[in-house]
Amino acid sequence: MQGADSGLIGGPADIVQETVRKFAAFRMLSARNAKYNPPPVADMDRIQHLIEEAHRRVDASSSVLRELLVVTAENFDPHRDALMKSRHNQLLQARAAAEDAAKRAWLALPIDLPDAGLSGDGNRQAWDILARDWPNGPRPGGVTPGGEANEARPAIPIRIYRRKRVTLVSDNSYRMALTDSGIDDAQGRRLFYQEEWIQRGSSVIRARWRVAVDTATGEHVLVARYPMLELRGALDDFYREIDRYSLWYLEPGEDSGWPSPDYVEAALADLEGACVDIRMAVDDFQNTVRASLAQQDESRATAREPLLDAGLAAPIREALYAIRAHLAGAPASLKAENKVWEAITQGTRLAMNLESAASWGNRILQEAPGGSPAAIEWEDLIERSDRAIDLVRNAEIEAAGALPPNSTQAEAKFPALQRGVIVRIRRPSAQHLEKGLIMCRQEIWHTESPMPGKREVRRTVTLVAVDPRTGAQTAIGGKTKYYPVDAGDLLENVFDEHSADDLPVALVD
């Protein structure tokens, strides 16, 4: 049986050594119970109490330092003054030594480190956070799976939360993380999800394992190893994302039956089909909007009338047209939108079904011998299911982003349709125009440079009449105002400052 940390990819020797030590310490601390309480856990308790005591004594020394620097004129004595200065320096040195010792002890414990980010030093950030929050930072008390205080455990500052990924090693090029599943397997072993992330050139290597602590024997063992992933991009970007490949985390529901590989294959095929359906529904919606806008542009060109939103890029014109049709409730637009939402809903349902079925592979991998036909088959199913679920979730996000925002506010500031552009559209009021038309008030804010060295923000207000039956849209009024800005001013700041300013617009015949 392999040890829990035998599969680490490895980097610099000091990183690997620190990882193994912190992983083992975290697992022991988290798996501790009435029967399993190894000596290192007691040592960690003692270290944390000493850290707290060091902080108390450093705080208490502050008043003494102030007293050593204050001497009244009547008590001034050159010899005594020299002695006080010497003691003052000794106390400062003792404080610095205590703080340094406390820092080293704290960072040696299995604590959750912040991302290293550009600074490249998650350890320093962790210490700064502790020092800043003290004495309102970590306080004595263990944690139960629900997060409440657990009086049965010794008083320690470290908090263990179930199913929360804890970053134990954080560096520019490395992330080492561990998650306590909060679950014991059929053999009574506590399960953990273990990850190693390494930046290698323009790629990120991610390794994943299920490991366990046998609380009866104290062994830390490898349960299952998952295929290594190679992702193109930056480590910081991937690590901050919601877990993209999360199927290996899941446990099968006890109320669901043990599925066959054929069932999982069928669920996988259904989900792949749903991904295609989502993209086709988005294409149909965009084609509906594009065709309707093109038809209206042709009618205006024939009548020698100006185009609506003239001067803007075609994708922005289409997005604005779709938003106004949505707000007015145009049937053709809403029908195409609803088909997209139906496809998204179906994709979500099928993804949940595949997750439920494929998660049984995690249970099988815990019981099947490594390298056996069953283990190989289920490893492949889990990996393919992970990627299919990831693809359909990305498709859902892209599809929702292609639709008009589903805002319920009377007036909404919509996400930027392109960089440097802010759109605000007021929903139709109770007052309708003649012939059943509905009016929308649209504002577009963007920065422009009319001449070198000069910048200004142009605010364009347009009143648009929308026929809710056909979606036809016509500009019936407009006004433009300019706001001069300095080189460093942001569009968002100008918008926040002046968006409440009234800009009346009259209707035109």
What was the pLDDT predicted at 344? 96
Identify the CA nearest to 468 among candidates 433, 495, 493, 506: 433
**What percentage of the chain exceeds 70 in pLDDT?**
80
What was the pLDDT predicted at 130? 54
Q: Is the peptide bond before 78 cis (omega within 30 degrees of 0)?
A: no
What was the pLDDT predicted at 83? 66
75 to each of 78, 80, 81, 86, how far by Cα in Å? Answer: 10, 9, 10, 18
pLDDT in tens, 191-206: 999 988 988 889 999 8
Given its phi and psi angles, is residue 365 left (phi above 0), alpha (psi -120 to 50 degrees) or beta?
Answer: alpha
| 478 CB neighbour count, 10 Å cutoff | 15
121: tokens are 């030093």
Q: Which one of 214-218, 274-278, 493-497 scores highest in mean pLDDT?
A: 274-278
What was the pLDDT predicted at 41? 86
Residue 74 has pLDDT above 80, yes or no: no
What was the pLDDT predicted at 244? 59
69-73, 223-227, 362-366: segment of lowest average pLDDT: 69-73
Residue 431 has pLDDT above 90, yes or no: no
d(CA 9, CA 174): 11
Q: Which helix (H) or strand (E) holds 315?
A: helix 314-328
d(CA 491, CA 458): 10
Burial tier of 271 (Cβ tally within 10 Å: 0-12, 13-18, 19+): buried
d(CA 368, CA 293): 59
Residue 7 has pLDDT above 80, yes or no: no
- What's the average model confidence in pLDDT over 3-26? 78
Domain borders along the chain are 13-241, 261-402, 411-498
What was the pLDDT predicted at 138? 40
Of residues 417 and 21, the one with the higher pLDDT is 21
365 to each of 96, 136, 210, how far by Cα in Å? Answer: 51, 44, 10
- What's the average model confidence in pLDDT over 436-457? 85
Pairing relation of β-strands 189-200 and 174-184?
antiparallel
| Residue 470 pLDDT grade (very low, low, confident, very high; cuts 50, 70, 90) | confident
Residue 252 has pLDDT above 70, yes or no: yes
pLDDT in tens, 390-421: 899 999 999 998 998 765 554 555 555 667 78
4 to each of 24, 214, 242, 364, how far by Cα in Å? Answer: 9, 11, 25, 18
* Mean pLDDT for all residues in the chain: 80
What was the pLDDT predicted at 225? 83
Contact residues for 434 (Cβ-Cβ < 8 A; gap 6+): none
pTM over the 0.75 mark: no
1-5, 222-226, 335-339, 358-362: segment of lowest average pLDDT: 1-5
What was the pLDDT predicted at 129? 53
DSSP of 97-137? HHHHHHHHHHHHS---PPP-TTTT-HHHHHHHHHHHHTTSS
Of residues 427 and 311, the one with the higher pLDDT is 311
Q: Which amino acid is at 316?
A: I
Q: Which helix (H) or strand (E) holds 185?
A: none
Q: Which one of 23-32, 81-90, 270-279 scores highest in mean pLDDT?
A: 270-279
pLDDT in tens, 265-299: 999 999 999 999 999 999 999 999 999 999 999 99
What was the pLDDT predicted at 424? 86
pLDDT in tens, 107-162: 788 888 876 554 455 555 555 555 554 444 443 333 334 443 333 333 346 777 88
Identify the CA nearest to 422 among candidates 478, 494, 488: 494
Residue 232 has pLDDT above 90, yes or no: no
- What's the average model confidence in pLDDT over 452-457? 84
What was the pLDDT predicted at 379? 86
